[in-house]
Structure 1
């Protein structure tokens, strides 16, 4: 779906605002089809969904957020895109409607100010931690920000910027150092930084996390070089890539506009390297999204995550999460478990209900596996859901 439609959905939310058995196999033991989440962040309960609870932002609200959450030491960092901020919670919340202990991007919990500085953002859309560092994609400013020490205080400034020459620039570019609106795709593994450069139809790889502003990437995939940006549907091309996951060996990329997920069995070291496995399509040249959906189909997948043996894919337009067990090694596997829907052949918002529940999803757009928990960005319901694995 094009970006303007996503923002139209967000604007509408801002201003308007029976379980089946799992298949046999190696699926996560705690998960079954249509599993209920255990905890909600951003809402007081599982049936409310309004942006900022229908009012102004506070320390326990969210609005139109995108991207995965990340845990650093004892702080859970959560992007709150519509409020142009990142919230920091003390650990992973165990009760609904938890209050954050710190905010980044704003001077306090009630402010909404957009900008391009070391302290101001324009639609932060994903966060990831790497050792003592915090990284964040700043979609509206076409950049990635890096904090060299995990922030523990409100309004801590970022130290380094990727995609821009300095911390006040926000031009889009198709170069070895530039970016054009990176969104969900942000990951660090094996010391390497991976960024989905959405509008350039590519993934950029830095062999180490940059320590200086505007550092050049080392490898690009989805394109043959650093100055091309054409979309395509092959094993070497991408079309609006989003979520990324890696274990330092394998690389997984949600190729959103191609309705598929691509897997590289080893981290590419040369430009334009071909993918090894495709999920959601029968081959590398197809981009179908059948209606009704199936246990093999995808419709604009967004976030991806894994726990080593299982792959989790957010099927955004089908308002569900598919779980593949074991981790796919061949093309077009069938999912083992579905979350957000009662079965594999439905894809309605909130499973066709007028309001959400602990089991339903509306446009999931970012997820992460942290320990034994799956944390899901439920964009259309202005909340994060926490599932036990």
Structure 2
């Protein structure tokens, strides 16, 4: 895993999320271990290129949760998910138990967020606002954010649910409009308090849309959940599971030591690139993908993967393949994947780096 690196404009420590806002930039990265966001004015063109901007710390040389102070509109603690949100940006500020929203994508250092979700104001940071049970307005470890067609989705990981806002929130602490993974807004049990089902979750982490269908990386159940279309009802069941033989199964790598083309070990990231659905199979230190120009739901359930990156075969799982040095095509605990046009950005957390790839043959 990642060894700490001193903060600088050209270093990262365990980055878990990244977002490229256009083919030419800007690029923003959740430099998770340094508790900051790093920004590049344009798409980096050379290895190790230094960031232009920082949010969350007074300068590039400092680190610490909330800059070793109290939370503010421009501080973070274990930032993870990051996405385009309308004309702006949303960040899952996980250990402050909140989501930060900028109405416009920041183009400078120290830009404060405009709206906070999960807390009543920017000065608060208790899980579920200090209460034992959640509400439609609270969060507990929100790791993932996803925006599509006016709706904001947040993987409220510690509450084992996904919250949905039907439009971009405009006020602090605004309650969510919908919930997946729980029967109500006031429950937070693993797998909805029972055995796993097609609607329950254990460690929801990231979301994407594939051919118009919502996909969730449910890391704790070692699976991907795919809904037919976009669910409109609370606690709606998914249509298809990838990574497990059925909805009751949850073991990593299906209970075997080595992975296969049908298994996961804590998949934290998921993204769609054209006809490809790509998952960051984090603890197996690989990416695996499914290629479909259209979805046959019966054939898709428990289908083997069509593509692999980071390992030579589906039966391998070592960090950087053989627990060696990082390569240009190896991974060590990849977390986040973000696709922008023909570019894909991968937060390769255990290698303390973000990788930018050009996609070919989507």
Q: TM-score, normalised by structure 1?
A: 0.84
- Partners of 1:380 and 1:74 lie apart in 2 by 24
Which gives a bigger RCO, structure 1 or 2 (Cα 8 Å, sep 6+)?
A: 1
Contact 1:189 1:248 in 2 (8 A): no
* Alignment counterpart, residue 180 of structure 2, candidates 221, 234, 237: 221
Over the residues paired in the alignment, what is the CA RMSD in angstroms? 1.5
Partner of 2:230: 267
Q: Deviation of residue 265 (structure 1)?
A: 1.4
Q: 1:175-194 counterparts in 2 under 5 A?
A: 175-183=135-143, 185-194=144-153
Contact 1:244 1:304 in 2 (8 A): yes
Partner of 2:131: none
Tell me whether 1:81 sits opposite 2:32 in the alignment: yes
SS in 1 for 2:158: helix
Change (3 A) 1:167 1:133: same
Q: Deviation of residue 372 (structure 1)?
A: 1.1
- Partners of 1:76 and 1:384 lie apart in 2 by 11
SS in 2 for 1:199: helix
Partner of 2:41: 90
- Partners of 2:93 and 2:31 lie apart in 1 by 11
Deviation by residue 1:116-143 (Cα, 9 ceiling, x = unmatched): 1101111111211123211111011000
Give the number of equivalent residue pairs: 338
SS in 2 for 1:267: coil
Partner of 1:369: 339
Deviation by residue 1:313-370 (Cα, 9 ceiling, x = unmatched): 0111111000111176421111111111011110011100421111211111111112
The gaps in structure 2 that reach 5 residues or longer are: 129-133
Contact 1:75 1:90 in 2 (8 A): yes
SS in 1 for 2:50: coil
Partner of 2:273: 307
- Partners of 1:65 and 1:338 lie apart in 2 by 22
Q: Deviation of residue 384 (structure 1)?
A: 0.9
Q: Deviation of residue 247 (structure 1)?
A: 6.0
- Partners of 1:278 and 1:366 lie apart in 2 by 20
* Alignment counterpart, residue 157 of structure 1, candidates 112, 115, 123: 112
Q: Deviation of residue 230 (structure 1)?
A: 1.2
- Partners of 2:211 and 2:345 lie apart in 1 by 21
- Partners of 1:220 and 1:131 lie apart in 2 by 21
The gaps in structure 1 that reach 5 residues or longer are: 1-8, 15-50
Partner of 2:352: 382
Tell me whether 1:291 sits opposite 2:241 in the alignment: no
Change (3 A) 1:82 1:313: same
Partner of 1:356: 326
Tell me whether 1:102 sits opposite 2:65 in the alignment: no
Partner of 1:320: 286
Contact 2:86 2:168 in 1 (8 A): no
Q: Deviation of residue 249 (structure 1)?
A: 3.6
* More displaced stretch, 346-355 vs 319-328: 319-328
* More displaced stretch, 122-131 vs 252-261: 122-131
SS in 1 for 2:142: coil
- Partners of 1:297 and 1:74 lie apart in 2 by 34
SS in 1 for 2:100: strand
* More displaced stretch, 122-131 vs 344-353: 122-131
Q: Deviation of residue 59 (structure 1)?
A: 1.2
SS in 2 for 1:351: helix
SS in 1 for 2:241: strand
Q: Deviation of residue 287 (structure 1)?
A: 1.4
Deviation by residue 1:209-253 (Cα, 9 ceiling, x = unmatched): 100000111110000100111112110100010011126942110
- Partners of 1:287 and 1:68 lie apart in 2 by 28
Contact 2:18 2:354 in 1 (8 A): no
Change (3 A) 1:309 1:261: same
Q: TM-score, normalised by structure 2?
A: 0.90
* Alignment counterpart, residue 345 of structure 1, candidates 304, 315, 337: 315
* More displaced stretch, 349-358 vs 252-261: 349-358
Partner of 1:282: 245
